[in-house]
Amino acid sequence: MELRHLRYFVAVAEELHFGRAAQRLGIRQPPLSQQIKALEADLGVSLFDRDSRKVRLTAAGEALFPAARDLLDAARSAERATRRAGRGEAGELTLGFVGSATNLLLPQALRGFRQRYPRITLRLRELTTTQQVHALKDGLLDVGLLRPPLLGAEADGLHVQPVTAERLVAVLQDDHALARQRLVAAADLAEEPFVLFPRALGPGLHDQILRYCAEAGFTPVVAQEAVQMQTVVALVAGGLGVSFVPSSVARTRRPGAVFRPLRPQTRVVHLAVAHRADTTNPVVGNFISAVIAAG
């Protein structure tokens, strides 16, 4: 049995007239009669009672009719769904993101994407940069929003594309002596205890910070570690030390902490979208476009 047989059968069952059904199908009447006959032979059942005057469904035909319609409908909708999936308009996307992307980039990107592609089911996972790198390579994640740079082998097999660019700023307790200055000189922080995220969470950015300190002539003493940028700020506000965070983190004000531009300026730090270089999932491309539009 093929869908052709069902298409022909449904046409005849609806018209109850071979000639008109054939016309509707864009074929001639004899091949239609043949195909119906072939279907009947295949099923071992006669589907129509027909004499030269009228055509009627048999009991078996009555049984097949609704089932055949449903099958054809289901086939059509499967086709549509597949095409949509092929255009990246339907399906699923598992997205990783670092906590600091939730300030601005992630909500804007999600808003744009959901509006344009409402049929995509999004699964969101807050993960560190390092976790995202592994999850991307393991196929657990389709796209990651992370903090480059990725070190050496980390980037193998991944496409990483920067989306935002910002500088690091200093975070100080609000009653800190340096908080009265408009800018903070990095060298002035040499003796301060630091609050920083563990290197393992994002070695690229971590190294970049240490390098910056080194250029300012000191090695920061990490008094306290924290995973989230928000936590870093909270700990600074609590008097546990000072820190550097991307300037976008300063957008969410927190009592007890102040943000100050650094002198010299740090190199720009990015948020980037990453995905496997060998992905063919068109949803990935569509999502990345949305992120770039939001960035």
Partner DNA sequence: TGGGATCGATAGCTCCGGCATATCGTTGCC
Partner DNA sequence: GGCAACGATATGCCGGAGCTATCGATCCCA
Q: Which residues bind DNA (CB under 7 A)?
A: 4, 17-19, 26-31, 33-38, 50-53, 55
Q: Which does 43 bind (CB under 5 to 8 A by kind): a second copy, DNA, none?
A: a second copy
Q: How far is the CB of 59 from a second copy (least distance, A)?
A: 4
Dig out the tokens for 122 from the structure. Answer: 């999004």
As a whole number of angstroms, the distance between CA 33 and CA 248 comes to: 72
Instruction: From residue 3, give the alpha-carbon distance in Å to each of 7, 10, 88, 205, 220.
Output: 6, 10, 27, 58, 71
Task: Write the Ramachandran bin of 91: left for phi over 0, alpha for psi from -120 to 50, otherwise beta.
Answer: left
For residue 293, the minimal CB distance to DNA (Å) is: 34
DSSP helix/strand/coil, 262:
strand
Residues written for the chain = 295
Integer Cα distance of 185 and 261 in angstroms? 9
Written as six digits, the tokens of 199 are 């290197």
Task: Please name the residues in contact with 57: beta carbons below 8 A apart, sequence gap of 6 or more.
Answer: 13, 16, 47, 48, 49, 65
Looking at the Cβ atoms of 38 and 135, the one nearer to DNA is 38
Identify residues 36-55 at the interface with a second copy (CB under 8 A).
43-47, 49
**Span interacting with a second copy, options 29-37, 126-134, 243-251, 280-288, rule CB under 8 A:** 280-288
Closest CA to 250 of 267, 240, 238, 236: 236
Spatial distance between the Cα atoms of 217 and 86, rounded to a whole number of angstroms: 54
Judged by CB, which is closer to a second copy: 58, or 228?
A: 58
Given the complex with DNA, which of 86 and 238 has the nearer CB atom? 86
50 binds, among DNA, a second copy, none (CB under 5 to 8 A by kind): DNA
CB of 280: closest distance to DNA in angstroms? 14
Indicate the residue among 29 and 231 with the shorter CB distance to DNA.
29
Closest distance between a second copy and the C-beta of residue 141, in Å? 14
How far is CA 133 from each of CA 116, 243, 286, rounded to the nearest angstrom?
A: 27, 25, 20
What's the Rg (C-alpha) of the chain? 32
- When CB distances are held under 5 to 8 angstroms depending on the partner's kind, the choice from DNA, a second copy, none that residue 58 binds is a second copy
Site for a second copy in 57-76 (CB under 8 A): 58-60, 62-64, 67-68, 70-71, 74-75
Residue number, 65 or 259, with CB nearest to a second copy? 65
Closer CB to DNA, residue 45 or residue 122? 45
Tell me the window of 24-32, 77-85, 148-156, 220-228 that interacts with a second copy (CB under 8 A).
77-85
282 binds, among a second copy, DNA, none (CB under 5 to 8 A by kind): a second copy
User: 81, 117, 82, 85: which is closest to 288 by C-alpha?
Assistant: 117
Q: Which of 2, 14, 174, 207 binds a second copy (CB under 8 A)?
A: 2
Contacts with a second copy by CB under 8 A lie at: 1-4, 43-47, 49, 58-60, 62-64, 67-68, 70-71, 74-75, 77-79, 81-86, 88, 90-91, 280-283
